[in-house]
Amino acid sequence: MDFSLTKEQEKIIQQVRELCQNEIHPYFTSRNIGEIDFDLWPIKLLGELNLVCPTIPKEYGGLGLDIFTTALVIEEIAACWPGLAAVIDTNLHAVQPL
């Protein structure tokens, strides 16, 4: 089985990686350890890019990503903020039956 990434997958992963490195990770590392509140800004940012649930079909306004590409997206998010990746993964499970 060939698990090589397509050009489209490489592009999506690179975009998510850059977003995480340039926007999300600096925000995450600037927060104080022990802060209990959870700011919705990172989720809103990912939502604007249709990354909160990237498996939603294009005809419904989503990205229509397959599960393998979605797993790669979540992996990139988890590399910079594991808790945020868990939120995205939870949304996937909630929306998938629809």
Q: What is the pLDDT of residues 79-90, one digit of tens each?
A: 998 989 999 998
Q: Which two three-digit tokens encode residue 48?
A: 């604007």
Give the residue among 72, 73, 71 at the shortest CA–CA distance from 51.
73
Write 58-67 long-range contacts (CB < 8 A, 24+).
Answer: 65/12
Per-domain residue ranges of the chain: 11-27+39-95
Helix (H, G, I), strand (E, B) or coil at 22: helix
- Residues 75 and 68: beta-carbon distance below 8 Å: no
Q: Global pTM?
A: 0.85
User: What pLDDT, on a 0 to 100 scale, did the predictor assign at position 23?
Assistant: 93
Cβ density class 5-31: b for 16+ within 10 Å, e for less = eeeebeebbeebbebbeeebeeeeeee
Q: Contact at 8 Å (CB) between 85 and 77?
A: yes
**CATH of 11-27+39-95 given 3.40.50.450, 3.40.50.970, 1.10.540.10, 1.10.760.10:** 1.10.540.10
20-64: per-residue pLDDT in tens?
999 999 988 887 666 666 778 899 999 999 999 899 889 988 899
